[in-house]
Amino acid sequence: MFPHAAGRRRVRRYVSAGVPLAVIAAVAVAGTATGAQTKDRPTEPRVTATAALGDIPLAEFSNSLLPGTVDDDRGVDLGGIGSDIYPADREGEFWTVTDRGPNGLITVDGTKRRTFPVPGFDPSIVKIRVSGATVKVIDAIPLTTSSGKPVTGLPNQEGRDEAPYTYDAKAPLRYDANGLDTEGIVRAKDGSFWLVDEYGPSLVHVSAHGKVLTRYVPHGLQLRGADYPVVEALPGILLHRKLNRGFEALAQLPGGDLVMAVQSPLSVPDKNAGDASLTARLLRFSPMRQAVTAEYAYHFDSVNEVDSSEDDTSELKISSVVALNGDTLLVEERTDKAARLQRVPLTPDANILGTAWDDAATSPSLEQLDDPAASGVPVLRKRLVVDLGTLDGIPGKIEGIAVTGRDTLAIINDNDFGMTDGVGAFDADGRLVDSGVETRVTYVQVPKGL
Protein backbone atom coordinates (compact mmCIF):
# COMPACT_ATOMS: atom_id res chain seq x y z
CA MET A 1 0.00 0.00 0.00
CA PHE A 2 1.15 3.54 -0.72
CA PRO A 3 2.73 4.68 2.59
CA HIS A 4 0.82 7.95 2.72
CA ALA A 5 -2.60 6.54 1.83
CA ALA A 6 -3.69 6.77 5.48
CA GLY A 7 -3.09 10.51 5.45
CA ARG A 8 -5.07 10.84 2.24
CA ARG A 9 -7.94 8.84 3.73
CA ARG A 10 -7.98 11.25 6.67
CA VAL A 11 -8.31 14.16 4.25
CA ARG A 12 -11.27 12.52 2.49
CA ARG A 13 -12.89 11.39 5.76
CA TYR A 14 -12.82 14.87 7.26
CA VAL A 15 -14.53 16.26 4.16
CA SER A 16 -17.20 13.60 3.79
CA ALA A 17 -18.07 13.74 7.49
CA GLY A 18 -18.34 17.50 7.41
CA VAL A 19 -16.01 17.83 10.40
CA PRO A 20 -15.00 21.52 10.70
CA LEU A 21 -11.27 20.83 11.04
CA ALA A 22 -9.04 23.66 9.90
CA VAL A 23 -6.90 21.32 7.85
CA ILE A 24 -9.79 20.71 5.46
CA ALA A 25 -12.38 23.41 6.00
CA ALA A 26 -12.87 25.90 3.21
CA VAL A 27 -15.11 28.85 3.76
CA ALA A 28 -17.15 30.87 1.37
CA VAL A 29 -15.81 34.35 0.91
CA ALA A 30 -17.03 35.14 -2.56
CA GLY A 31 -20.53 36.10 -3.52
CA THR A 32 -22.56 35.94 -6.68
CA ALA A 33 -20.61 36.42 -9.87
CA THR A 34 -20.47 39.79 -11.50
CA GLY A 35 -21.07 40.56 -15.15
CA ALA A 36 -23.89 41.72 -17.36
CA GLN A 37 -27.08 39.69 -17.05
CA THR A 38 -29.89 39.73 -19.60
CA LYS A 39 -32.86 37.55 -20.36
CA ASP A 40 -31.34 36.79 -23.73
CA ARG A 41 -28.18 34.78 -24.15
CA PRO A 42 -25.19 37.09 -23.51
CA THR A 43 -23.04 38.02 -26.48
CA GLU A 44 -19.95 39.14 -24.59
CA PRO A 45 -17.66 37.16 -22.24
CA ARG A 46 -18.63 37.41 -18.60
CA VAL A 47 -17.91 35.97 -15.18
CA THR A 48 -20.71 33.61 -14.16
CA ALA A 49 -19.51 32.33 -10.77
CA THR A 50 -16.64 32.56 -8.34
CA ALA A 51 -15.57 30.55 -5.30
CA ALA A 52 -12.77 30.80 -2.77
CA LEU A 53 -10.62 28.53 -0.63
CA GLY A 54 -10.63 29.27 3.09
CA ASP A 55 -7.89 29.07 5.71
CA ILE A 56 -6.15 25.70 6.01
CA PRO A 57 -3.02 25.83 8.22
CA LEU A 58 -0.10 24.64 6.13
CA ALA A 59 1.50 22.50 8.85
CA GLU A 60 -1.72 20.58 9.49
CA PHE A 61 -2.25 20.03 5.78
CA SER A 62 1.30 18.87 5.09
CA ASN A 63 1.67 16.71 8.19
CA SER A 64 -1.62 14.93 7.50
CA LEU A 65 -0.01 13.71 4.26
CA LEU A 66 3.60 13.20 5.38
CA PRO A 67 3.88 13.33 9.19
CA GLY A 68 6.67 15.53 10.48
CA THR A 69 7.21 17.36 7.18
CA VAL A 70 6.56 20.85 8.59
CA ASP A 71 7.48 21.72 12.17
CA ASP A 72 6.54 25.42 11.95
CA ASP A 73 4.42 26.94 9.20
CA ARG A 74 4.95 30.50 10.57
CA GLY A 75 1.22 31.17 10.27
CA VAL A 76 1.06 30.35 6.57
CA ASP A 77 -2.09 28.71 5.18
CA LEU A 78 -2.36 26.33 2.26
CA GLY A 79 -2.08 28.30 -0.96
CA GLY A 80 -0.31 28.23 -4.27
CA ILE A 81 -2.64 25.53 -5.58
CA GLY A 82 -3.50 27.89 -8.43
CA SER A 83 -0.37 26.92 -10.32
CA ASP A 84 -2.66 24.99 -12.66
CA ILE A 85 -6.10 23.38 -12.88
CA TYR A 86 -7.18 20.26 -14.76
CA PRO A 87 -10.70 18.78 -14.94
CA ALA A 88 -11.32 15.68 -12.84
CA ASP A 89 -13.96 13.01 -13.56
CA ARG A 90 -16.91 14.81 -11.96
CA GLU A 91 -18.38 18.19 -12.81
CA GLY A 92 -17.05 20.88 -10.51
CA GLU A 93 -14.02 18.83 -9.47
CA PHE A 94 -10.47 19.61 -10.53
CA TRP A 95 -6.88 18.51 -10.04
CA THR A 96 -4.58 21.34 -9.05
CA VAL A 97 -0.93 21.51 -8.05
CA THR A 98 1.01 23.67 -5.64
CA ASP A 99 4.24 25.32 -6.62
CA ARG A 100 7.41 25.02 -4.52
CA GLY A 101 5.75 26.54 -1.47
CA PRO A 102 5.88 29.88 0.34
CA ASN A 103 8.78 31.98 -0.93
CA GLY A 104 9.72 35.61 -1.20
CA LEU A 105 12.49 38.08 -1.90
CA ILE A 106 14.36 40.24 0.59
CA THR A 107 17.14 42.60 -0.44
CA VAL A 108 20.30 42.34 1.69
CA ASP A 109 23.28 44.61 0.93
CA GLY A 110 21.83 45.37 -2.50
CA THR A 111 21.31 41.72 -3.44
CA LYS A 112 17.95 39.97 -3.60
CA ARG A 113 17.77 36.77 -1.59
CA ARG A 114 15.16 34.07 -2.19
CA THR A 115 13.50 33.06 1.08
CA PHE A 116 11.77 29.77 1.97
CA PRO A 117 9.84 30.36 5.23
CA VAL A 118 8.62 26.73 5.35
CA PRO A 119 11.56 24.77 3.87
CA GLY A 120 10.04 21.41 4.79
CA PHE A 121 6.98 21.99 2.59
CA ASP A 122 6.43 19.25 0.04
CA PRO A 123 4.73 20.22 -3.25
CA SER A 124 1.44 18.37 -3.61
CA ILE A 125 -1.29 17.51 -6.07
CA VAL A 126 -4.55 18.77 -4.63
CA LYS A 127 -8.02 17.71 -5.76
CA ILE A 128 -10.71 20.31 -5.19
CA ARG A 129 -14.47 20.59 -5.53
CA VAL A 130 -16.17 23.88 -6.36
CA SER A 131 -19.50 24.03 -4.58
CA GLY A 132 -21.36 27.31 -4.69
CA ALA A 133 -19.03 30.00 -3.41
CA THR A 134 -16.73 27.51 -1.70
CA VAL A 135 -13.64 25.64 -2.85
CA LYS A 136 -13.15 22.43 -0.86
CA VAL A 137 -10.09 20.20 -0.71
CA ILE A 138 -11.32 16.62 -1.22
CA ASP A 139 -8.01 14.82 -1.73
CA ALA A 140 -4.29 15.55 -1.68
CA ILE A 141 -1.26 13.61 -2.93
CA PRO A 142 2.25 14.53 -1.73
CA LEU A 143 5.10 14.28 -4.23
CA THR A 144 7.73 11.78 -3.14
CA THR A 145 11.01 10.33 -4.32
CA SER A 146 11.66 6.69 -5.22
CA SER A 147 12.31 5.90 -1.54
CA GLY A 148 9.17 7.72 -0.35
CA LYS A 149 10.85 10.90 0.89
CA PRO A 150 9.32 14.34 0.20
CA VAL A 151 10.76 16.05 -2.87
CA THR A 152 10.67 19.53 -1.20
CA GLY A 153 10.47 22.77 -3.15
CA LEU A 154 14.08 23.81 -2.58
CA PRO A 155 16.39 24.76 -5.49
CA ASN A 156 18.54 22.05 -7.05
CA GLN A 157 21.94 23.36 -8.04
CA GLU A 158 24.30 25.93 -6.58
CA GLY A 159 25.38 28.43 -9.20
CA ARG A 160 22.42 27.74 -11.46
CA ASP A 161 19.40 28.22 -9.19
CA GLU A 162 18.71 30.98 -6.70
CA ALA A 163 20.36 30.38 -3.34
CA PRO A 164 17.75 29.50 -0.68
CA TYR A 165 17.51 31.38 2.65
CA THR A 166 15.44 31.30 5.81
CA TYR A 167 12.30 33.46 6.14
CA ASP A 168 14.33 36.50 7.25
CA ALA A 169 17.04 36.05 4.57
CA LYS A 170 19.73 35.76 7.28
CA ALA A 171 20.73 32.09 7.10
CA PRO A 172 21.35 29.96 3.99
CA LEU A 173 19.44 26.73 3.48
CA ARG A 174 20.65 23.60 1.74
CA TYR A 175 20.07 22.88 -1.93
CA ASP A 176 18.07 19.76 -2.75
CA ALA A 177 18.59 17.79 -5.97
CA ASN A 178 15.09 16.33 -5.48
CA GLY A 179 13.43 19.75 -5.22
CA LEU A 180 10.69 20.68 -7.68
CA ASP A 181 9.01 23.98 -8.47
CA THR A 182 5.92 22.37 -9.92
CA GLU A 183 3.53 24.28 -12.13
CA GLY A 184 1.38 22.71 -14.91
CA ILE A 185 -0.57 19.48 -14.38
CA VAL A 186 -2.46 16.97 -16.53
CA ARG A 187 -3.70 13.48 -15.75
CA ALA A 188 -3.04 10.58 -18.12
CA LYS A 189 -5.54 7.82 -18.94
CA ASP A 190 -3.67 5.37 -16.67
CA GLY A 191 -4.19 7.63 -13.66
CA SER A 192 -0.63 8.93 -13.51
CA PHE A 193 0.15 12.63 -13.65
CA TRP A 194 2.45 14.78 -15.74
CA LEU A 195 3.81 17.99 -14.22
CA VAL A 196 6.21 20.67 -15.36
CA ASP A 197 8.89 22.30 -13.23
CA GLU A 198 10.63 25.65 -13.37
CA TYR A 199 14.05 24.66 -12.02
CA GLY A 200 15.28 22.33 -14.77
CA PRO A 201 13.17 23.25 -16.53
CA SER A 202 11.77 19.74 -16.51
CA LEU A 203 8.85 17.52 -17.38
CA VAL A 204 7.97 15.18 -14.53
CA HIS A 205 6.05 11.91 -14.70
CA VAL A 206 4.38 11.06 -11.39
CA SER A 207 2.50 7.94 -10.36
CA ALA A 208 -1.14 8.06 -9.25
CA HIS A 209 0.20 7.97 -5.67
CA GLY A 210 2.64 10.86 -6.11
CA LYS A 211 5.94 9.03 -6.61
CA VAL A 212 8.23 10.66 -9.17
CA LEU A 213 8.73 8.05 -11.89
CA THR A 214 10.97 10.06 -14.23
CA ARG A 215 12.16 13.64 -14.46
CA TYR A 216 13.05 14.75 -18.02
CA VAL A 217 15.57 17.60 -18.12
CA PRO A 218 17.61 19.45 -20.76
CA HIS A 219 20.71 17.86 -22.24
CA GLY A 220 23.74 19.03 -20.28
CA LEU A 221 21.96 19.86 -17.01
CA GLN A 222 24.03 17.25 -15.11
CA LEU A 223 21.70 17.03 -12.14
CA ARG A 224 23.32 14.70 -9.63
CA GLY A 225 22.05 13.14 -6.42
CA ALA A 226 18.32 12.95 -7.11
CA ASP A 227 16.44 10.05 -5.51
CA TYR A 228 14.48 9.28 -8.68
CA PRO A 229 15.39 8.69 -12.36
CA VAL A 230 16.61 11.77 -14.23
CA VAL A 231 16.77 11.61 -18.04
CA GLU A 232 18.35 14.29 -20.24
CA ALA A 233 15.79 14.29 -23.04
CA LEU A 234 14.99 17.97 -23.66
CA PRO A 235 16.83 20.43 -25.95
CA GLY A 236 19.95 21.89 -24.35
CA ILE A 237 18.90 25.41 -25.36
CA LEU A 238 16.49 25.28 -22.40
CA LEU A 239 19.47 25.57 -20.05
CA HIS A 240 19.20 29.29 -20.84
CA ARG A 241 15.87 29.72 -19.09
CA LYS A 242 15.58 32.77 -16.84
CA LEU A 243 15.70 32.33 -13.08
CA ASN A 244 12.24 31.35 -11.84
CA ARG A 245 10.97 31.29 -15.43
CA GLY A 246 11.20 27.67 -16.57
CA PHE A 247 8.21 25.58 -17.66
CA GLU A 248 4.95 26.91 -16.25
CA ALA A 249 2.30 25.55 -18.62
CA LEU A 250 1.35 22.05 -19.75
CA ALA A 251 -1.34 20.64 -22.05
CA GLN A 252 -2.30 17.09 -22.96
CA LEU A 253 -3.43 16.49 -26.53
CA PRO A 254 -6.18 13.90 -27.17
CA GLY A 255 -3.66 11.34 -28.44
CA GLY A 256 -1.58 11.61 -25.28
CA ASP A 257 1.22 13.89 -26.49
CA LEU A 258 2.15 16.77 -24.18
CA VAL A 259 2.84 20.41 -24.97
CA MET A 260 4.78 22.50 -22.46
CA ALA A 261 5.57 26.19 -22.59
CA VAL A 262 8.57 28.07 -21.28
CA GLN A 263 7.17 30.86 -19.14
CA SER A 264 9.33 33.60 -20.66
CA PRO A 265 11.77 34.05 -23.55
CA LEU A 266 15.13 32.36 -23.00
CA SER A 267 18.19 34.41 -22.06
CA VAL A 268 19.95 33.84 -25.38
CA PRO A 269 22.59 35.09 -25.69
CA ASP A 270 22.16 36.94 -22.38
CA LYS A 271 19.69 38.25 -19.82
CA ASN A 272 19.21 41.57 -21.59
CA ALA A 273 18.15 39.81 -24.79
CA GLY A 274 15.69 37.63 -22.88
CA ASP A 275 14.18 40.54 -20.98
CA ALA A 276 13.57 42.49 -24.19
CA SER A 277 12.32 39.56 -26.26
CA LEU A 278 8.73 38.84 -27.28
CA THR A 279 9.41 35.27 -28.46
CA ALA A 280 8.88 32.28 -26.19
CA ARG A 281 9.08 28.55 -26.97
CA LEU A 282 6.63 25.66 -26.80
CA LEU A 283 7.69 22.02 -27.02
CA ARG A 284 5.77 18.87 -27.92
CA PHE A 285 6.73 15.67 -26.10
CA SER A 286 5.78 12.09 -26.88
CA PRO A 287 5.44 9.96 -23.72
CA MET A 288 5.55 6.85 -25.90
CA ARG A 289 8.88 7.84 -27.47
CA GLN A 290 10.08 9.69 -24.35
CA ALA A 291 11.33 12.44 -26.62
CA VAL A 292 10.59 15.95 -27.82
CA THR A 293 9.06 15.72 -31.29
CA ALA A 294 8.46 19.39 -32.11
CA GLU A 295 9.37 22.90 -30.96
CA TYR A 296 7.50 26.09 -31.77
CA ALA A 297 8.17 29.82 -31.67
CA TYR A 298 5.41 31.80 -29.96
CA HIS A 299 5.34 35.59 -30.29
CA PHE A 300 3.77 37.70 -27.52
CA ASP A 301 1.70 40.78 -28.19
CA SER A 302 3.31 43.95 -26.89
CA VAL A 303 3.19 44.23 -23.12
CA ASN A 304 0.98 47.34 -23.07
CA GLU A 305 -1.46 45.60 -25.40
CA VAL A 306 -1.79 42.75 -22.90
CA ASP A 307 -1.74 45.10 -19.89
CA SER A 308 -2.25 48.81 -20.48
CA SER A 309 -0.74 49.60 -17.06
CA GLU A 310 2.56 47.84 -17.79
CA ASP A 311 5.53 48.90 -19.93
CA ASP A 312 8.12 46.27 -18.91
CA THR A 313 8.31 43.60 -21.61
CA SER A 314 9.95 41.14 -19.21
CA GLU A 315 6.66 40.96 -17.26
CA LEU A 316 5.04 38.96 -20.08
CA LYS A 317 4.56 35.27 -19.32
CA ILE A 318 2.83 32.15 -20.60
CA SER A 319 1.20 30.54 -17.57
CA SER A 320 -1.32 28.13 -19.06
CA VAL A 321 -1.85 26.08 -22.22
CA VAL A 322 -4.93 23.93 -22.81
CA ALA A 323 -5.68 21.51 -25.63
CA LEU A 324 -8.87 22.43 -27.49
CA ASN A 325 -8.53 19.56 -29.97
CA GLY A 326 -5.82 17.42 -31.53
CA ASP A 327 -3.86 20.32 -32.98
CA THR A 328 -5.11 23.52 -31.33
CA LEU A 329 -4.20 25.13 -28.02
CA LEU A 330 -5.60 27.86 -25.84
CA VAL A 331 -2.57 29.88 -24.70
CA GLU A 332 -2.60 32.40 -21.87
CA GLU A 333 -0.44 35.51 -22.21
CA ARG A 334 -0.33 37.47 -18.98
CA THR A 335 1.24 39.89 -16.59
CA ASP A 336 0.41 39.77 -12.88
CA LYS A 337 -2.52 42.14 -13.49
CA ALA A 338 -3.99 41.07 -16.83
CA ALA A 339 -4.37 38.03 -19.06
CA ARG A 340 -5.46 37.28 -22.62
CA LEU A 341 -6.33 33.88 -24.07
CA GLN A 342 -5.28 33.06 -27.63
CA ARG A 343 -6.41 30.22 -29.90
CA VAL A 344 -3.25 28.75 -31.43
CA PRO A 345 -3.08 25.98 -34.07
CA LEU A 346 -0.03 23.72 -34.03
CA THR A 347 1.02 23.13 -37.64
CA PRO A 348 3.80 20.82 -38.86
CA ASP A 349 5.42 23.60 -40.89
CA ALA A 350 5.97 25.63 -37.68
CA ASN A 351 8.35 23.04 -36.17
CA ILE A 352 11.81 24.54 -35.47
CA LEU A 353 13.20 21.57 -33.51
CA GLY A 354 16.82 20.81 -34.38
CA THR A 355 17.28 23.99 -36.45
CA ALA A 356 19.85 26.72 -35.90
CA TRP A 357 17.46 28.31 -33.40
CA ASP A 358 18.33 25.50 -30.97
CA ASP A 359 22.00 26.50 -31.10
CA ALA A 360 22.94 29.13 -28.50
CA ALA A 361 25.77 30.27 -30.79
CA THR A 362 23.33 31.37 -33.54
CA SER A 363 23.51 35.14 -33.97
CA PRO A 364 21.20 36.89 -33.85
CA SER A 365 19.34 34.42 -31.66
CA LEU A 366 15.64 33.71 -32.00
CA GLU A 367 15.08 35.84 -28.91
CA GLN A 368 16.91 38.79 -30.47
CA LEU A 369 14.70 38.98 -33.57
CA ASP A 370 12.25 41.87 -33.43
CA ASP A 371 10.07 40.22 -36.09
CA PRO A 372 10.85 36.49 -36.29
CA ALA A 373 8.34 35.87 -39.08
CA ALA A 374 9.98 38.53 -41.26
CA SER A 375 13.29 36.73 -40.68
CA GLY A 376 11.89 33.45 -41.96
CA VAL A 377 10.96 31.87 -38.61
CA PRO A 378 7.63 29.98 -38.79
CA VAL A 379 5.91 31.65 -35.84
CA LEU A 380 2.68 30.12 -34.55
CA ARG A 381 -0.48 31.90 -35.67
CA LYS A 382 -2.96 33.01 -33.02
CA ARG A 383 -6.41 34.53 -32.59
CA LEU A 384 -7.65 36.37 -29.50
CA VAL A 385 -10.49 34.51 -27.77
CA VAL A 386 -10.99 36.62 -24.65
CA ASP A 387 -9.26 39.47 -22.86
CA LEU A 388 -9.78 38.58 -19.20
CA GLY A 389 -8.50 42.01 -18.17
CA THR A 390 -11.69 43.58 -19.53
CA LEU A 391 -14.00 41.52 -17.30
CA ASP A 392 -15.23 42.39 -13.83
CA GLY A 393 -14.51 39.85 -11.12
CA ILE A 394 -11.22 38.43 -12.47
CA PRO A 395 -8.45 38.08 -9.84
CA GLY A 396 -4.82 38.86 -10.55
CA LYS A 397 -2.05 36.39 -11.38
CA ILE A 398 -4.11 33.83 -13.28
CA GLU A 399 -1.97 30.70 -13.72
CA GLY A 400 -4.47 27.93 -14.47
CA ILE A 401 -7.13 27.55 -17.16
CA ALA A 402 -9.49 24.61 -17.70
CA VAL A 403 -12.15 24.14 -20.37
CA THR A 404 -15.38 22.97 -18.72
CA GLY A 405 -17.76 23.28 -21.66
CA ARG A 406 -18.06 24.41 -25.24
CA ASP A 407 -18.10 28.04 -24.13
CA THR A 408 -17.05 27.92 -20.48
CA LEU A 409 -13.72 28.20 -18.70
CA ALA A 410 -12.63 27.69 -15.11
CA ILE A 411 -9.68 29.86 -14.13
CA ILE A 412 -7.61 29.79 -10.95
CA ASN A 413 -5.17 32.30 -9.51
CA ASP A 414 -1.92 31.80 -7.62
CA ASN A 415 -2.20 33.58 -4.28
CA ASP A 416 1.48 32.93 -3.39
CA PHE A 417 0.42 31.43 -0.02
CA GLY A 418 -0.47 34.94 1.12
CA MET A 419 3.21 35.93 0.85
CA THR A 420 4.63 39.30 -0.10
CA ASP A 421 8.22 40.34 -0.73
CA GLY A 422 10.38 42.39 1.61
CA VAL A 423 11.16 42.43 5.30
CA GLY A 424 7.53 43.23 6.14
CA ALA A 425 6.32 39.79 5.03
CA PHE A 426 6.67 38.54 8.63
CA ASP A 427 6.13 40.26 11.95
CA ALA A 428 8.59 40.55 14.82
CA ASP A 429 7.64 37.06 16.01
CA GLY A 430 8.31 35.52 12.61
CA ARG A 431 4.61 35.07 11.79
CA LEU A 432 3.19 35.78 8.35
CA VAL A 433 1.60 39.14 7.67
CA ASP A 434 -0.95 37.72 5.23
CA SER A 435 -1.53 39.59 1.98
CA GLY A 436 -5.25 38.81 2.10
CA VAL A 437 -5.18 37.43 -1.44
CA GLU A 438 -7.24 34.25 -1.65
CA THR A 439 -7.19 31.29 -4.00
CA ARG A 440 -10.22 31.62 -6.26
CA VAL A 441 -11.83 29.53 -8.97
CA THR A 442 -13.73 31.73 -11.38
CA TYR A 443 -16.01 30.58 -14.19
CA VAL A 444 -16.04 32.59 -17.42
CA GLN A 445 -18.53 32.18 -20.24
CA VAL A 446 -17.29 32.94 -23.73
CA PRO A 447 -20.51 33.07 -25.80
CA LYS A 448 -18.76 32.94 -29.18
CA GLY A 449 -17.14 29.65 -28.17
CA LEU A 450 -13.57 28.50 -27.82
Instruction: Give 10-residue mean pLDDT values along the chain (450 residues).
Output: 43 39 36 42 90 97 97 97 96 97 96 97 98 97 97 97 97 98 97 98 98 98 98 98 96 97 98 97 97 98 96 97 96 96 97 97 97 96 96 95 96 97 96 97 92
Rounded distance, CA 121 to CA 148, Å? Answer: 15
Rounded distance, CA 231 to CA 254, Å? Answer: 25
DSSP string computed for 55-111 = --BHHHHHHHHSTTS-S--TTPBS--TBT-EEE-SSTTEEEEE--S-S-EEEEETTE
Residues in the chain: 450
Residue 166: which of 121, 122, 115 has the closest Cα? 115
β-sheet bridge partners, residue 440 = 52
β-sheet bridge partners, residue 212 = 206
Let me know if 275 is exposed, middle or buried by CB neighbors in 10 A (0-12, 13-18, 19+). middle
Rounded distance, CA 316 to CA 264, Å? Answer: 7
Q: Which is it for strands 317-325 and 291-299: parallel, antiparallel or unpaired?
A: unpaired
Rounded distance, CA 130 to CA 305, Å? Answer: 32
pLDDT value for 448: 85
Whether 193 and 260 have beta carbons less than 8 Å apart is answered as: no
Q: Where are the domains of the chain?
A: 1-70+78-234+434-450, 236-381
At a CB cut-off of 8 Å and minimum separation 6, what does 168 contact? 106, 115, 423, 426, 430
pTM, whole model, 2 decimals? 0.91
pLDDT value for 66: 97
pLDDT value for 3: 40
Whether 245 and 258 have beta carbons less than 8 Å apart is answered as: no
Residue 200: which of 163, 175, 234 has the closest Cα? 234
Q: Phi, psi at residue 102, to the nearest 5°?
A: -55, 130
Whether 330 and 411 have beta carbons less than 8 Å apart is answered as: no
pLDDT value for 19: 35
Judged by phi (left if over 0) then psi (alpha if -120 to 50, else beta), residue 373 lies in alpha
Q: Tell me the helix, strand and coil percentages in the chain, rounded to 5.
A: 15, 35, 50
